[in-house]
Amino acid sequence: MNAQQIRPIRTLSMLALTLAAITTQAAESPAIAEGREIAADRNRGNCYSCHMADGAEMTGNGGPPLMQMQMRFPDREVLKAQIADPRVRNPNTVMPPYGTHGILTPRELELVVDYIHSL
């Protein structure tokens, strides 16, 4: 292939990625959007202080990145249990038990789990 043949392919690939990103943003439910807000809030979820996530600003790297979460946690309830009380799986964790200690209300916990599971 020469340069003239590659350029249209590259352009189509970039267009497809852009359309996928727009579709994903447009398809975000209100619950996921609210969960994203809670995750970013330094006084509630504060997830990004330790975790990197696409689109998040000023992220930390102390925890695993929040990506491919449905693959890593196919069962949403396992993810919820991990966020609610991570000490169950790892007694030495530094992650706070968001549910057990009442850092998040039950509704906020559900919304954060919806958001994190969507990543």
- Average the pLDDT over 90-99 and give the result: 96
Residues with Cβ within 8 Å of 44's Cβ and at least 6 positions away in sequence, in order, are 38, 103, 104, 108
Please give the model's pTM, rounded to 2 decimal places. 0.75
Express each pLDDT in 18-41 by its tens digit: 445 444 444 689 999 999 999 999
39-55 average pLDDT score: 93
Contacts of 109 (CB under 8 A, 6+ apart): 80, 83, 84, 98, 99
Domains of the chain, each with CATH number or no CATH: 29-118 (1.10.760.10)
